[in-house]
């Protein structure tokens, strides 16, 4: 049995969707950031980073969204959530790592500037760049990465729930998402999936 530790509005959402799409057996454990659940000793023993998601597996604990998505895709191979060639899998990793290392960081500058600077003016400067940075990220995804109905073309993969999360951020980050019709169409396709509908009940 797997246990997913998650909080609403976080990068745990794509992991939860992937678990549901894979038909995995799993338990959910909601952490309330307002109560600082993620900083309590019990959770820090699971994930010393004090962040979500964390996935407890029979072999140990995994953290970081791209790693969890790759794990789910490999363990539940019958669901075909990852490409079956080394190059295809590397392409999926490229996309997911771009979201984690660049897009998510750009988004986090809006509310998490204290991670990078203690100076109030510097934090405000980071917030002021969010719309521009996220617009540029969306433009790259629209032009380079989203070439079919799904990120990897015709195959639905673990990349798609991750892009869905980012698409949900854009408007709140000040991005004119109407400029990105492929991303909007992808979000609509995701919202129509039964697994996504089931998962969103726990996150919205």
pLDDT in tens, 168-197: 999 999 999 999 999 999 999 999 999 999
Residue 112: predicted pLDDT: 75
Residue 19: predicted pLDDT: 98
What percent of the chain clears pLDDT 70, i.e. is strictly above it? Answer: 97
Residue 116: predicted pLDDT: 75
d(CA 168, CA 184): 10
Domain co-membership, 96 together with 180: yes
**pLDDT at residue 106 tops 70:** yes
Range list of H helices, 23-111: 41-44, 65-75, 86-98, 104-108
**pLDDT at residue 29 tops 80:** yes
Residue 197: predicted pLDDT: 98
Q: Structurally, how many domains does the chain consist of?
A: 2
Domain co-membership, 157 together with 172: yes
Domain co-membership, 65 together with 136: no
**CATH number for the domain that contains residue 59:** 3.40.30.10
Domain co-membership, 74 together with 127: no
Check: CB of residue 175 under 8 Å from CB of residue 135. Answer: yes
Domain co-membership, 100 together with 74: no
What lies within 8 Å, CB to CB, of 7 at 6+ separation is: 30, 31, 32, 33, 37, 38, 52
d(CA 199, CA 204): 9
**pLDDT at residue 159 tops 70:** yes
Reported as a single tens digit per residue, the pLDDT across 54-72 is 999 999 999 999 999 999 9
Domain co-membership, 101 together with 175: yes
Domain co-membership, 164 together with 99: yes
* Of the candidates 100, 71, 73, the residue with the CA atom closest to the CA atom of residue 165: 100
Calculate mean pLDDT across residues 41-50: 97
Domain span at 62:
2-79+199-203
**CATH number for the domain that contains residue 189:** 1.20.1050.10
Residue 114: predicted pLDDT: 67
pTM of the model: 0.94
- Counting Cα atoms < 13 Å in the Cβ hemisphere of 29 gives 14
Band (6; pLDDT cuts 50, 70, 90): very high
Domain co-membership, 138 together with 98: yes
- pLDDT, averaged across the chain: 94
Residue 108: predicted pLDDT: 83
Domain co-membership, 95 together with 145: yes
Residue 113: predicted pLDDT: 59
Domain co-membership, 121 together with 100: yes
Domain co-membership, 32 together with 122: no
Domain co-membership, 100 together with 181: yes
Reported as a single tens digit per residue, the pLDDT across 107-129 is 987 777 567 767 777 777 678 78
Question: When comparing pLDDT for 138 and 127, which is higher?
Answer: 138
Question: When comparing pLDDT for 43 and 204, which is higher?
Answer: 43
């Amino acid at each position: 049995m797997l246990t997913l530790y998650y909080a609403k509005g976080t990068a745990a959402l794509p992991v939860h969707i992937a678990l549901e799409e894979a038909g995995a057996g799993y338990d959910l454990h909601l952490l309330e950031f307002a109560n600082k659940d993620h900083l309590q000793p019990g959770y820090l023993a699971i994930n010393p980073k004090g962040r979500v998601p964390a996935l407890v597996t029979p072999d140990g604990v995994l953290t970081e969204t791209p790693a969890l998505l790759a794990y789910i895709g490999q363990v539940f191979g019958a669901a075909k959530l990852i490409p079956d060639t080394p190059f295809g899998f590397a392409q999926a990793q490229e996309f997911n790592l771009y979201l984690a290392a660049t897009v998510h960081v750009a988004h986090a500058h809006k509310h998490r500037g204290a991670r990078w600077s203690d100076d109030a003016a510097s934090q405000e400067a980071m917030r002021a760049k969010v719309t521009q940075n996220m617009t540029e990220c969306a433009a790259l995804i629209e032009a380079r990465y989203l070439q079919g109905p799904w990120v990897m073309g015709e195959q639905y993969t673990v990349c798609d729930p991750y892009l869905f999360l980012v698409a949900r951020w854009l408007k709140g980050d000040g991005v004119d998402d109407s400029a990105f019709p492929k991303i909007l169409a992808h979000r609509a396709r995701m919202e129509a999936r039964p697994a996504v509908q089931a998962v969103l009940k726990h996150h919205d």
